Chains A and B, each alone.
Chain A
Amino acid sequence: MRTVADGVVTGLAILATVIVVVPLIAIFAYLIYKGASSLNVAFFTKVPAPVGETGGGMANAILGSAMVLALASAIGVPIGIGGGIFLAEFGRGTKLAAAIRFTADVLNGVPSIVMGLAAYSLIVVPMGHFSGYAGGVALGFMMIPTVCRTSEEMLLMVPHAIREAALGLGVPNWRSVLSITVKTASPGIITGCMLAFARVAGETAPLVFTALGNQFWSTDLNQPIAALPLQIYVYALSPYDDWHRLAWAGSLVLIILIVFAVSLVRFVTSRGVLKGAS
């Protein structure tokens, strides 16, 4: 009886894994297949064609995404790394650090649409119009907790002996942190930032009413600006086959970015000092 139960449970666990893994691989393969068959040079070089015409690409959305993400990184990366340095170097074991860590984890779970609402009332309302700045700020806020926690984890992997060796040579503490500890952990920190970047690159919800989207070539962050995920969203719900094709191609670009970031993280955390960091 007991061995029967054991066998049944083993079977169920294997079944659950198969039920989960097979469709997930199928989804993934389907996305890649659809995207690869839709991707072409025009996608990267042309702006969207007017309604009813075939062809066109998402050059404006790629540029817009790049600009908004550059702004987001300029906000999220330095503050995030700074927070990580504080948690790992100055606040170890203190109540304040524990509180920050906890809040960062909680903030990580706050829906992205709420970030969009906050950015809307912080920037769009005072300025009076939708703008790329608002989108960048929303995404930047979302990057901070992720970057902060990954940098902390990477910095914690650096052995104490290295820090104390630097201090022993008479290096000021700030130099020791910046050019010894952070430098040792830098592959991990950089990939952590990459991962945060890839995650927010696909965020749509906070951009819907901040960056708003734009059908034309625009390089002005002060105006509504196009973004890749926004464009995918709009095109997916459109009735035109050609726009669907562009949506698939856009998702493939985002997926490639994410696969690259995730594999980089795994590669970096599987070797050297940072081995074993999550």
Chain B
Amino acid sequence: MAEADARAREGLTRKKARPGRIFPVLRIRFSTLVTSHSQFPVSLTLVNANVSEIRIPQVQTQPEPGPGAPEAPGDGPPAAISEVRRFLLARGNSALADRGFSWLMLLCGLSIFVIVGLIAYELVVRSELTLHKFGLEFFFQVFTDPDTHLKLFWDPVNAQFSARPFVYGTLVSSFLSLLLAVPLAIGVAVFLTEMCPLMLRGPLAFLTELLAAIPSVIYGLWAVFVLVPLLRDYVNPFLIKTLGWTTLFTDENPTGLGYLASGVILAIMILPIISSLTREVMSTVPHSQREAVLALGATRWEMIRMGVLRNARIGIVGSIILGLGRALGETMAVAMVIGATPEIHRSLLANGSTMATVIANEYAEAVGDMHLSALTEIGLALFVVTIIVNALAQVMIWAVTRGTPAQAR
């Protein structure tokens, strides 16, 4: 906002000076007037200086209160605090209290870093056992059951731990949810920003906000009693019949729980997030872009494709990644519908488990330190992955929306 502000100001002064190109004499006079005005206070006595200093920033800060409201246009880098405030802050006997107050607020701000650091530290300390014993192998290794010679991933009793089935479950359910949610979310965002009658926009935006705020346990409750029976009785038989040949849908789990159910409920949960962020990003594309494309004779779809989606694509990808971050870490709703078995199945209708759900299901009743440590290491991996994913998404969204004032969102 500060940059845009300063740029706008620069443009303003340049525009003022432009007539001077035609009338050189006038230009010189005008520019000397401007510079002498800005240097005016310096050459005056102290009392007058204060008075005129107060007057100048008042005029300049009023139209658009920005952090970098410059004292004089083109006069070095814009200061963070205006001259008036610096003068007023440096005077009087409240300097000590002010200093203390600003330090206290700084501490509050720094607490964010402290929390992140604390989480990372605690997770590393508590997962030391498995970190040392298995290392990175923890996420790939496969054990064999000594009796049945079957593959075995997670055996708390014999302290054999591999996060492989949970990584698999997390990836499958998250990507399934993205597959379902992304086309719909972008469709909704396009409809809301470009086609929707204004009357509908408010209520629909309110509805999305509301749905994004509903707790995951309530989505889980709904999924257990409505979605899972629906899938079990209608959708799954249909998928098995028509797409059974892909071996992605096999008829071995009659409960209706599993990867597909968790993918669907995750899609429902991340849809509001993706669509509202995409909408936000799309609405920051300047109107001149749309009008330029329309003026070339494009239809509305071509305008959306060339004028809007192309300009906003980084931000849209960012919002999808943010949705992915939510899907990766979502716990309760998934825990209620995925079936909670530490196995890997090719079929999307089979039971599974994700990184978040295994922690929720087993942590309170973990047997032994190794089990706790293994679960904590899964949490650590989840933490690191979501931090990376979210940081990436924030940077991408920021790349599109920066420079636009907060009101435009």
**A111 and B356 contacting across the interface, CB-CB below 8 Å:** yes
- Evaluate contact between A12 and B187: CB separation under 8 angstroms: yes
Does B326 count as interface, using CB distance less than 8 angstroms? yes
Contact partner, B112, options A23, A107, A209, A277, Cβ 8 Å:
A107
Q: Known contacts A83-B108, A262-B210; decide if A90 and B356 are in contact (CB<8 Å).
A: no
B356 lies within 8 A of A79 (CB): no
Residue B329 is within 8 A (CB to CB) of chain A in the complex: yes
Report yes or no: A198 in contact with B213, Cβ–Cβ below 8 A.
yes
> 18 pairs across A/B with beta carbons < 8 Å?
A2-B302, A9-B304, A10-B195, A80-B108, A83-B111, A86-B106, A90-B105, A107-B112, A109-B329, A117-B359, A122-B122, A172-B98, A174-B101, A204-B331, A204-B332, A205-B356, A205-B360, A233-B336
Flag if B331 contacts A111 (CB, 8 Å). yes
Which residues in chain A, 74-120, are within 8 Å of chain B measured between CB atoms? 78-83, 85-87, 89-94, 96-97, 99-100, 102-115, 117-118, 120
Q: Interface digits, B104-144 against A, CB 8 Å rule (1 contact, 0 not)?
A: 11111111110110110011011000000000000000000
- Return the contact of B225 from the options A14, A91, A244 (Cβ within 8 A): A244
A-B CB proximity, top 9 nearest: A202-B215, A111-B329, A16-B187, A82-B108, A172-B94, A174-B101, A109-B390, A86-B109, A160-B65
Tell me if A49 is interfacial: C-beta within 8 Å of chain B.
no
Binds A, one of B25-33, B160-168, B247-255, B380-388: B380-388
From B82-90, B147-155, B345-353, the one touching the partner chain is: B82-90
Known: A13-B190, A82-B104, A208-B364. A229 touches B390 (CB 8 A): no
Chain B min CB distance to A49 (Å):
20
Query: How many residues on the B side are at the interface (Cβ–Cβ under 8 A)?
Result: 107
| Bound Cα distance from A133 to B116, whole angstroms | 20
| Interface contact B221-A247, CB-CB below 8 Å | yes
The answer to whether A82 touches B109, judged by C-beta atoms less than 8 angstroms apart, is yes
Inter-chain contacts of B111 with A (CB < 8 A): 79, 83, 144
Chain A interface SS verdict (over half): helix
Count A-side interface residues using an 8 Å CB cutoff: 113
Q: Tell me, rounded to whole Å, the shortest Cβ–Cβ distance linking A32 to chain B.
A: 11
B42 within 8 A of A: no
List residues of chain A with CB within 8 A of the CB of B271.
20, 24
Whether B390 pairs with A106 at a CB distance below 8 angstroms is yes
Chain B residues with Cβ under 8 A from A199's Cβ? 213, 215
| Cα distance, A122 to B126, chains bound together (Å) | 10
Query: Assuming the A-B contacts A205-B332, A262-B213, are A278 and B379 also in contact, with contact meaning beta carbons closer than 8 angstroms in the complex?
Result: no
A268 to B40, CA, bound (A): 44
Residues of A within 8 A of B393 (CB): 109
* Interface status of A212 (Cβ within 8 A of chain B): yes
Contact call B221/A94, Cβ cutoff below 8 A? no
Q: Of residues B108, B268, B322, which shows the largest number of chain A Cβ atoms within 10 Å of its Cβ? A: B108
B175 at the interface (CB under 8 A from A): no
Question: What's the A-B contact tally at a CB cutoff of 8 Å?
Answer: 311
Most B C-beta atoms less than 10 A away, residue of A16, A109, A195: A109
Closest Cβ of chain A to B398, distance in Å, is 8
A157 to chain B, nearest CB (A): 8
Q: Quick one: which of B301-334 are within 8 Å of A by CB? A: 301-302, 304, 322, 325-326, 328-332
Given contacts A172-B92, A255-B218, 14 further A-B contacts (CB under 8 A): A6-B300, A20-B187, A24-B268, A27-B222, A80-B108, A97-B109, A110-B386, A117-B122, A121-B122, A141-B115, A202-B215, A233-B217, A261-B213, A262-B206
* B356:A113 contact, CB within 8 angstroms: yes
Q: Does B38 contact A (CB under 8 A)?
A: no
Chain B residues 369 to 409 lying within 8 A of chain A, measured CB to CB, are 376, 379, 382-383, 386-387, 389-391, 393-394, 406-407, 409
> Hey, what's the 0/1 contact readout for B54-95 against A, CB within 8 Å counting as 1?
100010011001011100000000001010110011001010
Complex interface: chain A residues within 8 A of B104 (CB) = 82
Q: Least Cβ distance of A265 to chain B in Å?
A: 8
Please tell me if the beta carbons of B394 and A106 are within 8 angstroms of each other in the complex. Answer: yes
Q: Is A168 located at the chain interface by the 8 A CB criterion?
A: yes
Considering the complex, give the chain B residue whose CB is closest to the CB of A85.
B105
B2 within 8 A of A: yes
Q: State whether A173 and B112 are in contact (beta carbons under 8 Å apart), knowing that A20-B271, A92-B80, A120-B363 are contacts in the complex.
A: no
B220 to chain A, nearest CB (A): 7
